[in-house]
Structure formats: structure tokens, C-alpha cells
Amino acid sequence: MGDRIFLSSPHMSDEGYELQYVNEAFETNWIAPLGTNVNEFENELASKVGSKSAAALSSGTAAIHLALKAAGVEEGDIVFCPTLTFSATANPIIYQNATPVFIDSNEETWNMCPKALEEAFKKYPDVKAVIVVHLYGLSADMDQIVALCKKHNVTLIEDAAESLGTYYKGQHTGTFGDYGIFSFNGNKIITTSGGGMLVSNNEEKIAKARFWATQSRDTARHYQHSELGFNYRMSNVVAGIGRGQLKVLDQRVEKKRAIYEFYKKELGALEGVEFMPANEWDYANHWLSAMTLNGSVRPLDVMEALEAENIESRPIWKPMHLQPFFEKYDFVGTDVSERLFENGVCLPSDTKMTDEDLKRVVDVVKGLW
């Protein structure tokens, strides 16, 4: 059995950029949730994606939470959320004691279906916010979704946790909505081990988010708090890793896209295999390469065969409206997300994979046909 091939693991730069910034944090003794690395990581990330301001936070989940709070989402409010996503997208809705309504995907993007979203607006005209996700680095159909949100005067939050480096019609995902969020979890395209970023062109709202994220400490000699606060700020050490990782983002995107193209070339002609969609307006980072199986070979067959060879793979996200915790909430759509879940599998997409590793993966998969 060969060495373990991971789905998507941390990949530090060969140049050691991360250590330079981390060492600087140690040398200056800024081992805290503030410092030069935090400030500069915010500035550099905002500049990279083309947003006016950013707040470095402890996780992408924290960023969604503060985006909802900044949008004025409160107890009893309705928030539209894609059903085909990781639970971190939906959990912050519950943190605010709001009510999620889950929206189906479409085949064209695997993301939020604009037709289902329009149907949801008719059913729930008083919705407070919409969260859209760019699943696996594939961009949602932002023109239609932005237009619907503007028509109904509703705040749009982009969960771009999986899509840093993805462009929709030449513009970075995460910058179309009122707020965008990114994640730097250990499995993301760049990582800080854990962390996230909230971006917006509304600099006043970002300043407020930073305030909430630092326990809502008022400007006073003593410790004074007039609002509920959160311990959500990113540490200066972690931000140093992020600054170094940001320097190699474009390289990571290039590698992820090459992995996807290799799999599609080698496996795309197999009976019943279809790969995640590619749209002309979408320059995807292909954070994970995923395919659906509609023949006799099933996703579990692929995952078990790969695991037997010490290769990691995963199912497509299980839709939120099928999750035990969230099944009591409404769902708008048909069965697209359920079919993607039932038929989908994510192949290893680790940027450290060699050509030999990729060949190992495709040889195992081809052996099932």
C-alpha cells in the first residue's frame, strides 16, 4: 500500500513565506489577536479580491455569523440558504435565533437555483437575508441571484469559503454581495490552520464587525460593554501564516484546476460518469474535483476501493433539509440536491499530489469498470 493520498491537506509554500511572518510575530512579541500581520492580512486579502475592507476572524463560520448580525438578522427572521452545503453555512442562522429556509440546487451550477430562489421569495416575501454558496469552488449564477436580491431589497451574503481564487465573469467570488466570507480552515485552498475573513465595501459595517469580534469593548479606561460581544478575532500568528499563503494562492488554483482537468480527461468517458459543471462565465478554483455516477458503479464502490489503497475521498455534502437537526425547516425546490448527494463523490484534490499519485487514483477508479 502506498503513502496516504489526502482529499485536501495544508500545503505550505516552498519559499517559507509563512515562517517569515510568523517569526516576525514572535520576535516582536505580538502573540495576540492584533498586530501587523492581522492588519496587513486584512489589507492584502481585500486588495487581492477587490473589496474595500476586511475583518480577520477566527473562522469562516464566525464571518457568516457577523455578516448576519450586520445585516440586522434577529430572532424570527427568515434567511434563505442553499441546502447543498456544509452545516457551517446554516449554523449561524440559528445562532441569531433566525429561521433558515433551504433552497435547492440546479444542474447547471450545482449551486443555488435562481428559479427556486424566486419561488422562495414568493412564498416568503419578508425574508431578511440570502446566503449563497460557491460549492467546491464553482461559482453560483450571480447575475440572476444578485438581481433577485436587489429586486426584493434583501441583503446578500456570499459564502465563498470554498471559492477563494474563483472568478465569476472576471470578478472574484465573495465580492458581489453586501458581504463575502472566506475560510482558511486546514483543508481550504490556502490555510491559516483555522481562520476566516469577512469582506465588504461597507467599511463602517466591517469596523462594527471588528468591534463585535473583540468582545464589543467600548472605548473607555475601564472594561465597558454596551453590546453583546464575541471572541472572534484572528491571532497575529495565524494571520502571519495567511499572509504567506496568500502569496501562493494563484499557484494553488492552477494546481487544483490541473487536477480537475486530469480527472476529467482520464475518467470522463467512463459509463455513467459526469463531472462537476464547467460554465464559460466561471473560472473555478476547483477546490475539490467531484463527479456523479449514474450507472452500475456507485459512489460507495469508488470510496471503498480508494480507501483500500490508502486514498481519501468523500461523498458530496448531504443536503441540509435531510439533516436531522435541520429537517424541520422548509425546503424550496425539487430533488436536484438529493440526486447530487446520492450520486456524487469528491476525489482527492490535494495540491501536493504528484503525477504518480494522480495515476494511482485513476487506476483504482478505472478498475471498477
CA pair distance 300, 344, nearest whole angstrom: 9
pLDDT of residue 45: 98
Cell of 187: 483543508
From 51, 31, 53, select the one nearest 208 (Cα to Cα): 53
**Whether pLDDT at 1 is above 80:** no
Region 243-248 average pLDDT: 98
Cell of 353: 499530489
Cα dihedral sign, 65-159-143-99: negative
- Within the chain, all domains assigned CATH 3.90.1150.10 are found at 249-366
CATH 3.90.1150.10 is right for the domain spanning 249-366? yes
**Whether pLDDT at 122 is above 80:** yes
CATH topology of domain 17-246: Aspartate Aminotransferase; domain 2 (3.40.640)
Edge-to-edge strand ranges of the sheet holding 155-159:
53-57, 196-200, 179-183, 155-159, 129-133, 78-82, 99-103, 331-332
Conformation bin of residue 77: beta by default, left when phi > 0, alpha when psi is -120 to 50: beta
HEC string of the chain equals CCCCECCCCCCCCCCCHHHHHHHHHHHCCCCCCCCHHHHHHHHHHHHHHCCCEEEEECCHHHHHHHHHHHCCCCCCCEEEEECCCCHHHHHHHHHCCCEEEEECECCCCCCECHHHHHHHHHHCCCCCEEEEECHHHCCCCHHHHHHHHHHCCCEEEEECCCCCCCEECCEECCCCCCEEEEECECCCCCCCECCEEEEECCHHHHHHHHHHHECCCCCCCCCCCCCCCCECECCHHHHHHHHHHHCCHHHHHHHHHHHHHHHHHHHCCCCCEEECCCCCCEECCCCCEEEEECCCCCHHHHHHHHHHCCECCEECCCCHHHCCCCCCCCEECCCHHHHHHHHEEEECCCCCCCHHHHHHHHHHHHCCC
Q: What percent of the chain has pLDDT over 90?
A: 97
What confidence tens digit (pLDDT) does each residue in 329-369 have? Answer: 999 999 999 999 999 999 999 999 999 999 999 999 999 99
- Within the chain, all domains assigned CATH 3.40.640.10 are found at 17-246
pLDDT of residue 11: 98
CA pair distance 310, 364, nearest whole angstrom: 11
Region 129-154 average pLDDT: 98
pLDDT of residue 33: 85
Which residues neighbour 32 within 8 Å (Cβ) at sequence distance 6 or greater? 235, 236
> Taking the model in full, what pTM does it have?
0.97
Instruction: Count CB neighbours of 257 within 10 A.
Output: 17
Strand partners, 274: 292
What confidence tens digit (pLDDT) does each residue in 253-281 have? Answer: 999 999 999 999 999 999 999 999 999 99
**Whether pLDDT at 32 is above 90:** no
Average pLDDT, the chain: 97
What confidence tens digit (pLDDT) does each residue in 165-179 have? Answer: 999 999 999 999 999
pLDDT of residue 332: 98
